[in-house]
Amino acid sequence: MWFVITIMLSFNHTDGTLIREYKKKTFSDTWECHEFISENKMILLSPHIIKYGIKLKGFEFYCESRQGQEV
Q: pLDDT (tens digit, 9 = 90+) per residue, 19-45? A: 999 989 999 999 999 999 999 999 999
pLDDT tens track for 54-71: 999 999 999 999 987 655
Give φ, ψ of 16 to 5 degrees. Answer: -75, 155
Model pLDDT, residue 14? 87
What's the pLDDT score for residue 71? 53
Residue with the larger pLDDT of the pair 34 and 1: 34
> 22 has which bridge partners?
5
The band of 18, judged by pLDDT with boundaries at 50, 70 and 90, is very high
Please give the order of strands across the beta sheet that includes 2-11.
17-27, 2-11, 56-66
Work out the number of other CB atoms within 10 angstroms of the CB of residue 3: 21
Which of 63, 61, 66 lies closest to 2 in space, CA to CA?
A: 66
Domain range summary for the chain, segments of one domain joined by + = 2-66
